[in-house]
Amino acid sequence: MSIVVSGIRPTGNLHLGNYFGAIKSFVRMQQEDQCFFFIADYHSLTTHPTPGDLHGNVKNVLVEFLASGLDPEKATLYIQSDVPEVAELYLMLNMNAYIGELERCTSFKEKIRTQPQNINAGLLTYPTLMASDIIIHKAHKVPVGKDQEQHLEMTRTFANRFNRLYNIDYFPEPVAYSFEQNLVKIPGLDGSLKMSKSDNENSAIFLADTAEVIRKKVMRAVTDTGPAEINQPKTQAIENLFSLMNVLSSTETYDHFNELYNTCQIRYGDMKKQLSEDVVRFVEPFSEKIKELHSNGDYLRKVIEMGAEKARISARKTISEVREIIGFKSF
Ligand code: ADP
Ligand code: TRP
């Protein structure tokens, strides 16, 4: 049985990219593997949320995890900051993480570009905290979307470096994993390559969105002026709509519109209407469960207490072994 770890930062509501890139795999993997799924609230401090926003977003992710079918009896569901052992391992890993390799990380370089006014040390060491999340449970597999591949590569580097430094085969090498074989990337409705909550509200469809909101967002999705010749290659925006249709609609529907595109007969309005109905059908059961769970505080508290306890047992074991390996021993 493999050990599986993955986490999501509580920075807003979960969208279809999070679902197809990560959570769908969580739901499948909890059936067979020993799974730890957590809400990465330490990580989200890099953006300086208010206490109210932080707490509200942790609750949103917890509710949306449960609404997506994560089962607290099967998987360990917990909040990262309930397991302070993670922060201790992070400190130890930082001693063997080099500035050069951290600075070369794509997500860090991206932050320098997009938010030069807030390049804090937490952003630089984001990959060591993430590595600590993963190896604290000695994980083998990490279900994540394609954008996280480099972070996993760095996790393997830190795990191997620890093993080499102390001459011990202690941490396994974790791999980025998707139940669908290839790592998934869901595009945005705004023509961007990746659906994301951070960039543009209208680019993402959230699991909590109402039917009305979904219809509006899809109908507003970016398109182009239409194909001028047979079998014309698709622009990014159109490719995105087809990718979404590929994931959410039937094969017949996809083939139908693809044929219309290739023969220059497509009307994007019709395609979007069909896509919006398929998205509504998919999202509706989630948004209904989300509403229900939000009012069930007692249940949420119970889930989190149970998860924290199970996660800490596993984390404490690793930390006490790591302390021993490093040479923090009792007299
Ligand atoms: P966001 O980009 O909206 O801030 P996160 O970075 O919090 O989302 O992502 C949480 C999880 O969802 C990660 O495993 C990530 O790989 C996955 N994910 C996010 N967006 C997408 C997407 N558009 N396609 C596939 N997976 C995604
Ligand atoms: N970096 C991940 C993201 O942005 C979130 C994350 C933090 C994570 N720690 C993790 C994912 C450990 C998998 C395992 O989506």
List, as one string, the DSSP characters of 89-116.
Answer: HHHHHHTT--HHHHHT-HHHHHHHHH-G
Q: Provide the pairing of β-strand 175-177 with 34-39.
A: unpaired
Helices 149-165/126-135 angle, 10° precision:
70
Nearest ligand (C-alpha, residue 90): 2
Q: Which atom of ligand 1 is nearest to the CA of 184?
A: 25
pLDDT at 313: 98
The domains of the chain, with CATH numbers, are 3-184+296-326 (3.40.50.620), 201-291 (1.10.240.10)
- Percent of the chain, pLDDT > 90? 94
Beta carbon of 21 within 6 Å of any ligand 1 atom = yes
| Alpha-carbon distances of 243 from 43, 87, 139, 255, 299, rounded to whole Å | 30, 39, 31, 12, 37
Task: Find the mean pLDDT for residues 284-294.
Answer: 95
d(CA 251, CA 29): 26
Q: What is the pLDDT of residue 181?
A: 79
Per-residue pLDDT band for 224 (boundaries 50, 70, 90) equals: very high
Instruction: Tell how far the Cα of 4 is from the centroid of ligand 1, in angstroms.
Output: 18
The torsion angles phi and psi of 39, rounded to 5 degrees, stand at -100, 115
Q: What is the pLDDT of residue 198?
A: 67
Angle at 180 between CA 262 and CA 130, to 5 degrees: 120
Determine contact, residues 12/57, Cβ cutoff 8 Å: yes
**What is the model's pLDDT at position 330?**
87
How confident is the prediction for the chain on average, in pLDDT? Answer: 96
- Whole-angstrom Cα distance, residue 256 to residue 263? 11
Ligand 1 nearest atom to the CA of residue 146, by list position = 16
Pocket test for ligand 1, best of 42, 123, 147 (most atoms within 8 A of CB): 147
Q: Express each pLDDT in 250-269 by its tens digit.
A: 999 999 999 999 999 999 99
The protein residue with its alpha carbon nearest to ligand 2, atom 6, reads 7
75-101: average pLDDT: 98
Single out the catalytic residue among 197, 234, 273, 317: 197
Confidence check: pLDDT of 199 > 70? no
Question: Ligand 1: does its nearest atom lie under 6 Å from the Cβ of 203?
Answer: no
Structure tokens at 239: 């490719």
Rounded to an integer, the average pLDDT of 280-302 is 96
Cβ 145 under 6 angstroms from ligand 1: yes
| 40 Cα to the center of ligand 2, angstroms | 7
Atom 11 of ligand 2 has which residue's CA nearest to it?
A: 7
Spatial separation of the C-alpha atoms in residues 176 and 146, rounded to whole Å? 8
- The answer, yes or no, to whether residue 203 has pLDDT greater than 90, is no
For the chain, what's the residue count?
331
- The whole-angstrom separation of Cα 316 and Cα 303 is 20
State if residue 44 touches ligand 2 by the CB under 6 angstroms criterion: no
Q: How far is CA 40 from CA 81, 83, 218, 284, 295, in A?
A: 8, 11, 30, 26, 23
Using pLDDT thresholds of 50, 70 and 90, give the confidence band for residue 309. Answer: very high
Catalytic annotation present for 194: yes
CA of 232 to the centre of ligand 1 (A): 31
The overall pTM is greater than 0.85: yes
Please report the pLDDT score of residue 202 as a whole number. Answer: 78
144 lines ligand 1 (CB under 6 A): yes
Considering only CA atoms, which of 90, 121, 119, 126 is closest in space to residue 105?
126
Question: Could you say which of 111, 141, 217, 272 is catalytic?
Answer: 111
Q: Tell me: pLDDT of 71 over 80.
A: yes
> Is 90 exceeded by the pLDDT of residue 201?
no
Residue 192 has pLDDT above 80, yes or no: yes
Listed range (111-115, 130-134, 197-201, 272-276) with the worst mean pLDDT: 197-201
Look up 197 and say whether it is catalytic: yes
Ligand 1 and 198: CB distance under 6 A: yes
* Res. 282: pLDDT tops 80: yes
Q: What's the whole-number mean pLDDT along residues 22-37?
A: 97
